[in-house]
Amino acid sequence: MLELLSASYPVQECPVALEQRMDTRPVLRLRPAGAIGFTSSHGAVRAILAHGDGVKEVSIVFGRLADYPWLSSLMSRQATSSRVWDLKTGKARGESDNQYVANALGNMPEFIAWFDAWRILGVSVEKVLVKPARELSLPQGAPFPADSLLPWDAIVWVTLARP
């Protein structure tokens, strides 16, 4: 059963719907109406986690990584220097693309900081999409070929625990 926590959470860029449903633990979902920046997404995460008051574990569904351009860009940039990500094929070496993005996000300080005091128990990813570097918002003159295939979008959800 899906219950709307509030009509929307106002952020500078666009409204963000906050939803909650109960499963074995609360499942919270952010639904931004458009692309939002770090400060706005951090505020929305804080707001939705406030609805997890009193629970020990919670899952947050973020939907598409592309709705958080700051995070999408960090993910793409991280892949440019990874020994696991193959820039020519746009695939991870030795693991699935989903696992690669989940591991990369789970170790990214900016991603970890998104959750304040909550501890990340797991990051789940599916449907990783790639694009050539020339089509992404990356620094000009970067030391990798413009036709490098980089991850830029995926469906992401995170399981968190109270400290």
Give residue-wise pLDDT tens across range 68-116: 999 999 999 999 999 999 999 999 999 999 999 999 999 999 999 999 9
Query: What is the rounded distance in angstroms from the CA atom of residue 156 to the CA atom of residue 60?
Result: 9
Q: Which H/E stretch holds residue 5?
A: strand 2-10
Q: Which domain holds residue 105?
A: 2-161
- Residues with Cβ within 8 Å of residue 48, at least 6 apart in sequence: 5, 9, 18, 20, 28, 29, 30, 60
pLDDT tier at 2 (50, 70, 90 boundaries)?
very low
pLDDT of residue 6: 52
pLDDT band at 16 (very low <50, low <70, confident <90, very high): confident
Look at 19-23, 111-115, 132-136, 154-158 and tell me which has the smallest mean pLDDT. 19-23
Domain count for the chain:
1
- Which residues are within 8 A (CB) of 107 and not within 5 positions of it... i.e. 6 or more apart? none
Instruction: Say which residues have a Cβ less than 8 Å from residue 84's Cβ, sequence separation at least 6.
Output: 92, 93, 94, 95, 100
pTM: 0.89
pLDDT in tens, 22-69: 777 788 888 898 999 999 989 888 888 887 677 899 999 999 999 999
Task: Report the amino acid identity of residue 49.
Answer: L
